[in-house]
């Protein structure tokens, strides 16, 4: 959180903040400041001073969130989902992984880190004491995105079914976590959409594990047959739980799964 201090704002600092608000710029850059001040040194000093005083929140080098002039004289920080979206800018992204597992109620574990899947960069940063992790993904995995509005800002998140696909791919240390969530939510999700999302996912082992579990839970054949067709040309057997080093267990030939529970 950032503590706002109204005192000791200099003329140039007021000008920069006011112009940002007038132009409805929630995020400003070094280039924005340099357009206001012909002296580049003055632009840099003004940005540094406003950041130190709590009127700008640094997202990354040369990129800042503007604290509104109307912000109350107390601690202020935009919603962490909003911050994630502002950090990404024009880069295609969605908030996902553990952040969304909790959001959709698939797990009660509360993640400290906000995971931002995107098509451009992988890096970790801390903004206002909250860790953010950008995870670069293949363009083929960028689907199933839902937009929600927070604080008048549109934010991209993975929808419920897409989040469940990610959970199958990245299941918090054990396939059992995904298995439990799937069993608890199988009647609450759009099963047709979930299977469609699975078919689009470019990692065939995810299809095999999820398909096996869906069949075990009594899913209708009209959905399962599509998945079986998707994996029919893939002859490699995979373990049900990749976190278990043992490859011992019953073999399911239809799904090409070694059930190593």
Examine the pLDDT at 211 and tell me if it is beyond 80.
Answer: yes
**Do both 178 and 248 map to the same domain?**
yes
Q: Using CA atoms, how far apart are residues 96 and 106, in angstroms rounded to an integer?
A: 12
Q: What is the pLDDT of residues 60-90, one digit of tens each?
A: 999 999 987 776 654 677 899 999 999 999 9
Q: Which tokens in the block code for residue 78? A: 């935009």
pTM confidence score? 0.86
pLDDT for residue 5: 53
**Do both 201 and 250 map to the same domain?**
yes
**Do both 152 and 132 map to the same domain?**
yes
151 or 91, higher pLDDT: 91
* Average predicted confidence (pLDDT) for the chain: 91
**Do both 90 and 57 map to the same domain?**
no
- Of the residues 158, 186, 220, which one is the last residue of a structural domain? 158
Q: Residue 2 forms beta bridges with which residues?
A: 76
**Do both 122 and 83 map to the same domain?**
yes
- CA 96, 242, 216 angle in degrees (round to 5)? 85
Range of the domain at 52: 2-76
Q: Using CA atoms, how far apart are residues 257 and 94, in angstroms rounded to an integer?
A: 31
Confidence of residue 174 (pLDDT cuts 50, 70, 90): confident
**Do both 167 and 261 map to the same domain?**
yes
Residue with tokens 């357009």: 35
pLDDT for residue 74: 46
Question: Backbone phi, then psi, for 203, in 5-degree steps?
Answer: -130, 105
Examine the pLDDT at 41 and tell me if it is beyond 60.
Answer: yes
**Do both 149 and 64 map to the same domain?**
no
CATH number, residue 59 = 1.10.10.10
SS3 call for 211: helix
Average pLDDT of 16-43? 92
Q: What is the pLDDT of residues 225-250, one digit of tens each?
A: 988 888 878 789 999 999 988 999 99
pLDDT for residue 68: 79
**Do both 87 and 113 map to the same domain?**
yes
**Do both 85 and 151 map to the same domain?**
yes
pLDDT for residue 6: 54
Number of independent structural domains in the chain: 3
pLDDT for residue 69: 73
- Of the residues 138, 158, 178, which one is the last residue of a structural domain? 158
- Of the residues 112, 142, 158, which one is the last residue of a structural domain? 158
């Amino acid at each position: 959180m950032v503590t706002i201090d109204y005192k000791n704002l200099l003329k140039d600092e007021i000008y920069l903040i006011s112009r940002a608000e007038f132009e409805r710029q929630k995020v400003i850059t070094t280039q924005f400041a340099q357009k206001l001040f012909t002296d580049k040194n003055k632009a840099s000093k003004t940005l540094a001073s406003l950041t130190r005083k709590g009127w700008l929140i640094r997202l990354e080098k040369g990129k800042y969130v503007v604290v509104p002039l109307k912000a109350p004289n107390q601690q202020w920080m935009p919603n962490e989902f909003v911050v994630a979206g502002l950090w990404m800018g024009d880069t295609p992204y969605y908030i996902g992984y553990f952040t969304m597992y909790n959001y959709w109620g698939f797990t009660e574990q509360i993640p400290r880190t906000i995971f931002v899947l995107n098509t451009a960069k992988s890096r970790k940063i801390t903004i206002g004491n909250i860790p953010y992790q950008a995870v670069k993904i293949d363009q083929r995995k960028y689907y199933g995105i839902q937009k929600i509005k927070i604080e008048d800002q549109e934010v991209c998140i993975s929808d419920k079914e897409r989040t469940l696909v990610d959970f199958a791919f990245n299941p918090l240390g054990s396939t059992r976590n995904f298995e439990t969530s799937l069993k608890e939510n199988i009647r609450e999700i759009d099963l047709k959409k979930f299977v469609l999302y699975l078919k689009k996912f470019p990692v065939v082992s995810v299809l095999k594990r999820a398909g096996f579990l869906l069949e075990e839970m009594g899913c209708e054949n009209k959905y399962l047959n599509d998945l079986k067709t998707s994996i029919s040309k893939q002859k490699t057997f995979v373990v049900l739980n990749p976190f278990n080093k043992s490859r011992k267990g019953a073999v399911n030939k239809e799904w090409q799964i070694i059930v190593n529970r």
